[in-house]
Amino acid sequence: MQDDHFEYSMEELRSLTKTANGEVAVVLTQKRERPHPATYIGKGKVEELHTLVEEVEPELIIFNDELSPSQLRNLASILDVRIIDRTQLILDIFAQRAKSKEGKLQVELAQLQYLLPRLMGQGISLSRQGGGIGTRGPGETQLETDRRHIRNRINEIKQQLSSVVRHRHRYRERRKKNQAFQIALVGYTNAGKSTIFNRLTTAGSFEEDLLFATLDPMTRKVVLPSSYQALLTDTVGFIQDLPTTLVAAFRSTLEEVKEADLILHIVDSSNEDYANHEKTVYKLLEQLEITDIPILTVYNKKDLTPSSFVPSPTEDYVAISAFSDEDVERLMVRVEQLAKEVMNYYTVHIPVSEGRLISQMKTETLIQSFSFNEEQEVYKVEGYVLPTHSINGQLDKHNGEGK
């Protein structure tokens, strides 16, 4: 199983390289009990790699793990070629993908925190000449290797981010006041979150078969089968061994998930490593202290799922293909059922004169049935409402009236 996991991880590194616009020329692997403290790979492997570098003349060597500052320095002094590790590669992709001011600041912060301990010697050059993978960011002014300068920049970014976080918090509070049922999409990178988001909201979120296609969170209205409007948020994809600096940097973005009433965990069931992908997502949700929000697992890409696929036994799940209208409808019906479970049921009789209240009920509560009693000139309405919604007080007044 470990060998399988290693293969999946190497395959993922290939995908990451492709996403960063790189091309894999050759792959070199080694089986060791533990990494070599000085060079990560063994002495013989370093010599083999040196020979390969002379033959293939690559622009870059990428290691499928995070290298320590000393390992990076030692390897750079032996091999006359740029070396980056998995963390740098992921940071580079994030630098490419960040579109919003917050996203860019978060990536720059993570890059600088990664670079700081690696500035000694020849381990890493901050020069951006030549471009290419691992050289994007962090910012045009950030070319010198002066620790103090970098620390000042880190403090600056942290201050800017804290004001962005305050703004986001105010926006979330406003949304809370508007009392909408909130759904968050989470999942391993490339599981199909943005495709599902677009199918449910017709929002045009960036959709491509690349890792980390979505970096900045996006929230849109989604209409459930009963015509009730909920809010749906797409989030950044999770990945195994996501650099800790990035988890910390994107914490405020992922805080969106904390506000959700329901989490849709999107899993690519066609990926052979889906079980590990699920574990990775749960581990990250735990790190974010998200443990008490209901989760519905959505196994996506069912048309490509191998016969060996077995859903996780503990999961409440639906299997869909994001491109099937029927499947998307089925998913929405299931989401509505789960919404009802966290809402309060009501049945009320509203006089015709209460037009404003009726209008509010139609937009802000999930209406199950709506009929007019001509004799009594009242509307009988049955439905569901969020327990914290301010409309509850008015509904209580009309509870059972006109029966």
Residue 301 marked as a ligand binder: yes
Q: How would you classify residue 21: left for phi > 0, otherwise alpha for psi between -120 and 50, otherwise beta?
A: left
303 is an annotated ligand-binding site residue: yes
Residues 339 and 342: their CA atoms lie apart, in Å, by: 6
Separation CA 243–CA 115 (nearest Å): 13
- Distance from C-alpha of 345 to C-alpha of 52, rounded to nearest angstrom: 68
Instruction: Determine if residue 373 is labeled as part of a ligand binding site.
Output: no
Single out the residue of 60, 93, 92 nearest to residue 76, CA to CA.
Answer: 60
* 214 annotated as ligand-binding: yes
- With beta carbons less than 8 A apart as the criterion, state whether 66 and 243 touch: yes
Cα–Cα distance, 298 to 334 (Å, whole number): 11
Degrees to nearest 5, angle at CA 166 with 164 and 168: 70
Report d(CA 214, CA 266) in Å as an integer. 14
Q: In what helix (H) or strand (E) does residue 300 lie, and over which residues does it extend?
A: strand 295-300
Ligand-binding annotation for 396, yes or no, is no
Tokens (6 digits) for 7: 């293969």
380 annotated ligand binder: no
**400 labelled as ligand-binding?**
no
187 belongs to an annotated ligand binding site? yes
Count Cα neighbours of 315 within 13 Å in the Cβ-side half-sphere. Answer: 19
Structure token pair of residue 200: 């449910």
Residue 344 annotated as lining a ligand binding site: no
Structure tokens at 245: 């600096």
Q: Is 234 annotated as a binding residue?
A: yes
Residue 216 assigned as binding residue = yes
204 is in an annotated binding site: no
Instruction: Please tell me whether 192 is known to bind a ligand.
Output: yes
Q: Is 302 flagged in the annotation as binding? A: yes
Question: Is residue 387 within 8 Å of 343, Cβ to Cβ?
Answer: yes
Q: Is 4 labelled a binding residue?
A: no
145 labelled binding-site residue: no
Residue of 148, 163, 166, 159 whose CA lies nearest to 109: 159
Phi-psi region of 83 (alpha: psi -120 to 50; beta: other; left: phi over 0): beta
| Residue 56 main-chain phi, psi, to 5 deg | -85, -25
- Contacts of 358 by beta carbon, 8 Å cutoff, 6+ apart: 350, 379, 381
Distance, in Å, from the CA atom of 7 to the CA atom of 117, rounded to the nearest integer, reads 30
Q: Is 235 among the annotated ligand-binding positions? A: yes
Give dist(CA 69, CA 239) in Å, integer: 23
**Is 80 labelled as part of a ligand binding site?**
no
Residue ranges for the known binding site for Mg(2+) are 194, 214
Q: Which residue numbers belong to the known binding site?
A: 187-194, 212-216, 234-237, 300-303
Residue list for the binding site for GTP: 187-194, 212-216, 234-237, 300-303
